[in-house]
Amino acid sequence: MIFDFAPIWENIHLYLGGILITLKLLAISLAVGLAAAIPLGLMRVSRQPLVNGAAWLYTYVIRGTPMLVQLFLIYYGLAQFSAVRESVLWPLLSDATFCACLAFAINTSAYSAEILAGSLKAIPHGEIEAAKAMGMSRAKLYRRILLPSALRRALPQYSNEVIMMLHTTSLASIVTLVDITGAAKTINSQFYLAFEAYITAGAIYLCLTFVLVRLFKLAERRWLAYLAPRKA
């Protein structure tokens, strides 16, 4: 047999630990990223050129440069400045987990903001006019009508973004974290079984992707039921 999966099974705990790290990175960066994306998305639909332009520039630069460069700028780059090294934030900024989460959150906030802005623009005019006719203030209009509607309509596109983020977290292995990819790297360096180690990691990511797709299908059925085509 040219393949030898026995060392993989014996070290399966490494992969299991890796799954936990991957999911932790994913959850933190998505939560922080989405929280930042909501104000950014609202800025992107603003009619004030300065507000809109600032958010546009942010999303344009983040979406136009590779995730790896952003991660390196934060993790390796910031150490260049002695002001950063001597600041109170240094213990955080020299921590790989913190830097990875920060870089991922910044990245996903830009993509999610554009998705949210797109779905805000796609809200039927009638919904907004009706809310205004009811005498709602701007804040109430956003809180009760625009955001709930836009966040729901953004679900199908946001599910793609979440899967992209799951895949992006694999970059954490480059800054020494032992996520799923990091576990495969460890096993490869111990046993020289590159093919078996990475194909196992690939299979795990594939399963996680399927689970996420399934979960979003269920979420769509729950929150987008009113947009589904009528059953015959």
Binding site for another protein (CB under 8 A): 2, 61, 63-70, 72-73, 76-81, 166-168, 170-171, 173-174, 181, 184-185, 188, 192-199, 201-202, 205-206, 209-210
- The nearest distance, CB 202 to another protein, in angstroms, is 4
Minimal distance, residue 137 CB to another protein, in Å: 28
CB of 77 to another protein, least distance (A): 4
Cβ 81 to another protein, closest distance in Å?
A: 7
Helix (H) / strand (E) containing 7: helix 6-10
The distance of Cα 133 from the centroid of its chain, to the nearest Å, equals 37
Query: Is the CB of 6 or the CB of 79 nearer to another protein?
Result: 79
* Residue number, 104 or 152, with CB nearest to another protein: 104
| Strand boundaries in the chain, DSSP class E | none
What backbone torsions phi and psi does residue 87 show, to the nearest 5 degrees?
Answer: -80, 170
Per-residue HEC secondary structure of 128-157 comes to HHHHHHCCCCHHHHHHHHHHHHHHHHCHHH
Nearer to another protein, 29 or 181 (CB): 181
Q: Please name which of 158, 180, 160 lies closest in space to residue 171, comparing C-alpha atoms.
A: 180
